[in-house]
Amino acid sequence: MKKALIVFLLTAVFAACGDKQEALSTATLLENGDLKEIQQKRDELAIQQQDISSQLKELDEKLEALSPEGNLPLITAFKAEEKVFNHFLELQGSVETDQNMVVTPEMGGVLTRVYVKEGQRVSKGQILATVDDGGMSQQLAQMQVQSDLAKTTFERQERLWNQKIGSEIQFLQAKSGYEGLQKAMSSMRQQIAKATVRAPFSGTIDDIITEQGSVVAPGQSQLMRIVSLKNMYIKAAVPETYINDVVKGKNVEVFFPVLGKTVASKIAKTGSFINPNNRTFKAEINVPNKDKMIKPNLTARLKINDYTNEKAILIPQSIISENAAGEQYIYTLSDVLESKAVAKRVIIKTGKKQGDVIEVLEGLKNGDQIILEGARSVKDGQTVKIIK
């Protein structure tokens, strides 16, 4: 404070006595553009600057002699405390569902009828559309008539055969004809059933792709998309270095930036294959979706609790320095007496970091006083002044 006051007074006196005149003189010299006069003026100002610097140095030395504490480095400190430290692996994933399907027909022909609309809820097995069966229904009706006749013939032959009337070959022919027609009709019914498009699962019709009256091909033409938002999960790629930490059952905090929503979940399963291209494995996290706001392909940010230390000492990363040997160190306080203490350099070993703090594994113990502000301006063994 005394130092600042003296500097201010000297500056004020100097400014009051000659600044205005010198400013005018300098301006005039610059306007005239005389090289010799400008050089002479600069030399005069340089001598004055050296004189002021010399006086300030003498004043600083005197202040230090009269008041040694006046130049002590000012620092702040905090106490090391053991606390629970949870480290989180942060990843990005995408919402997926196995029940997101584009429905295609099993039979080719004209799409004769579409029974649903976009946004409509449907149940598993519900009829969505029908395709023209190409006359197979009429063929089935004709076969039914033939089957009825064959059944009557078979029943009569069976009664006669039971009464030992008629030949065995007639009975067997009637039986074979009737059973053959039954199998043919069963096969025809299966073919006709392919003309009816049914919902593979319960969900919502998201999009009608092909309009009624269009010609469709089996397994190729896309009729509509059906989506279920019930069983949703997030798939993420996890670096192989976390293969022992990211396992089934681990807690996960899921944040959806678009929705501004956070949900808690667990890892449902992890992959058994490591992708050789990016050295990652897959992890799936189930997400509840009661309000149906979470949609397929929605981006999610994941925080997976991969490490926990019940008695961790955490310090800000900003106070850590490194020596020529690559060792990390910080400064602690020793010989604390009221507002004065001695700075002590301590070599530390750090662990995992989270945000702006890092875990200290070795070098500190619970209750140590650690220099916070001013940590990079002190020296080992230097006396410092603590600001409360």
Q: Express each pLDDT in 285-303 by its tens digit.
A: 999 888 888 988 999 999 9
Residue 289, pLDDT score: 85
Global pTM exceeds 0.85: no
Q: What is the DSSP code (8-state) at residue 210?
A: S
How far apart, in whole angstroms, are the C-alpha atoms of residue 239 and residue 188? 54
Residue 113, pLDDT score: 92
* Cα torsion through 162, 167, 173, 176, rounded to 10: 30
Phi/psi at 386 (5° precision): -90, 125
Residue 102, pLDDT score: 93
Contact 331, 80 (CB under 8 A): no
Q: State pLDDT tens for residues 81-131.
A: 999 998 889 999 999 988 888 999 999 999 999 999 999 999 999 999 999
Q: How far is CA 294 from the centre of its chain?
A: 15
How far apart, in whole angstroms, are the C-alpha atoms of residue 111 and residue 20? 97
Contact 285, 301 (CB under 8 A): no
Same fold, 91-98+227-308 and 103-225: no
Q: Hey, how many other C-beta atoms are within 10 angstroms of the C-beta on 371?
A: 24
CA distances from 350 to 23, 305, 312, 320, 344 (A): 57, 19, 11, 10, 18
Q: How far apart are the first and last CA of the chain?
A: 18
Q: Which residues pair with 384 in a beta bridge?
A: 341
List the chain domain ranges: 2-71, 74-85+310-386, 91-98+227-308, 103-225
Q: Which CATH architecture has domain 91-98+227-308?
A: Beta Barrel (2.40)
How far apart, in whole angstroms, are the C-alpha atoms of residue 65 and residue 110? 105
Residue 67, pLDDT score: 57
Q: How far is CA 150 from the centre of its chain?
A: 69
| CATH class for the region spanning 103-225 | mainly beta
Residue that the structure tokens 């990211």 belong to: 246
Give the residues of the chain that fall short of pLDDT 70. 1-24, 60, 63-71
How far apart, in whole angstroms, are the C-alpha atoms of residue 340 and residue 192? 95
Nearest partner of 111 among 226, 227, 222, 225, judged by Cα:
222
Fold of 74-85+310-386: 2.40.420
